[in-house]
Amino acid sequence: MEELSWKIGLVLLVLGALHFFNVFALGRYRRNRLRQLATHPPLAPVGRLPVQPAHPPTAPGPGMPGPGAAPAAPGQANPPAR
């Protein structure tokens, strides 16, 4: 019986050592693959997107001059928008 327990114990130790070696080796392989993939973009850049304004221009409110209107002279009110 003692001989059988030695054999089972030895098998368990060998299996444990193989398990830890596999975990170490596969983790190292995965880390290297992730490092290789991180240095290359998934697709080559074709160009750049145009820069969009932070706030889109809004239409002038009632009584406000349009974008091409001349400023009113001092002391005069702006003409109403049509």
Of residues 79 and 20, more confidence is placed in 20
From residue 69, how far is each of 77, 78, 79 by CA, in Å? 13, 9, 10
- How crowded is residue 65: how many other Cβ atoms within 10 Å of its Cβ? 13
Lookup: tokens for 50 = 């145009």
Is the pLDDT score of 68 beyond 70?
Answer: no
Q: Hunting for tokens 């019986």 — which residue is that?
A: 1
The whole-number pLDDT of residue 33 equals 87
What is the structure's pLDDT at 44?
A: 74
Q: Is the pLDDT of residue 64 over 80?
A: no
Model confidence pLDDT, tens digit, residues 3-50: 999 999 999 999 999 999 999 999 999 988 888 877 766 677 778 888
Q: Alpha carbon 78 to chain centroid distance? A: 49
pLDDT computed for residue 34 by the predictor: 84
